[in-house]
Chain A
């Protein structure tokens, strides 16, 4: 199995990066893993709607450039499908022959293009999380289902 994690921006908090590293190390026992962090755009508090779309589009292009045409892309989106760990496990199992790509957007979320390219929109919760915490949660969950 091949799993790629793509996220936007660097994570500063070491208590998060160390947890992610730990989970990735565990997932590597079961799959070939690639972790990609694409740069984020500067994002001041007050942005117009148009500027927000521009930020998401720029980040989106960087994400899309890392995706191959045959990849099965799972985008993390708050409006996505909420499923149990058992169902998540079934989904991953069904797709284990493909190259799986998980995408976590930046602080404004994912561009329409990225959402359109994705094969599955997954949501962990109706809560809004910092994307750093989202990455910890995702890698922990993936470890739980691949082991």
Chain B
């Protein structure tokens, strides 16, 4: 699976970047993943591939479980989807799924860390591998 995680804005905190990098590294054995931070919606839409399965993530979306995300990634994989795009944004845009990590606001770096960690957790669940809580 090719996974791209998009957001509008910047992550400057080096500890947040390091946390994201750690999950990015661990995900290397399961998928191709990339974080793409852009200046605005226009740039984002230009970069977004039209064959991607788009999951919008915002506080307005539907709450979901880690097991639910694992199931989603697994199902998409076996039904022939090879590109997934997570878009963390409150902007109006087209999506296939609209999910919420939380109903609370958080820093962009925190949201990116959670997304990477949850995708990693999802693969551990798919492969029946233990992972701490």
Binding site for B on A (CB under 8 A): 13-16, 18-19, 22, 45, 82-85, 88, 107-109, 124-131, 133, 136-137, 140-141, 144
Contacts and interface: CB of A to CB of B under 8 A. Distances in A.
A110 to B, nearest CB: 12
A140 B64 CA distance: 22
A85 B104 contact: yes
Contacts of B50: none
B83 to A, nearest CB: 23
B102 A82 contact: yes
Given A82-B102, A83-B103, A85-B103, 20 more contacts: A15-B18, A19-B13, A19-B19, A82-B63, A82-B103, A83-B104, A108-B133, A109-B133, A124-B102, A125-B63, A127-B64, A127-B69, A128-B133, A129-B114, A133-B113, A133-B117, A137-B106, A137-B110, A140-B107, A141-B104
Interface string B1-20: 00000000000010110110
B128 interface: no
B65 interface: yes
B105 A127 contact: no
Contacts of B52: none
B68 to A, nearest CB: 8
Contacts of B103: 82-85
B15 A88 contact: no
A13 B22 contact: yes
B54 interface: no
A127 B104 contact: no
11 contacts: A19-B13, A45-B130, A82-B103, A107-B132, A109-B133, A124-B104, A127-B114, A128-B65, A129-B114, A130-B117, A133-B117
A127 B65 contact: yes
A129 B121 CA distance: 9
Contacts of B15: 14-16, 18-19, 22
A127 B107 contact: no
Nearest to B133: A107
Contact of B121 (A18, A126, A128): A128
Nearest to B117: A133
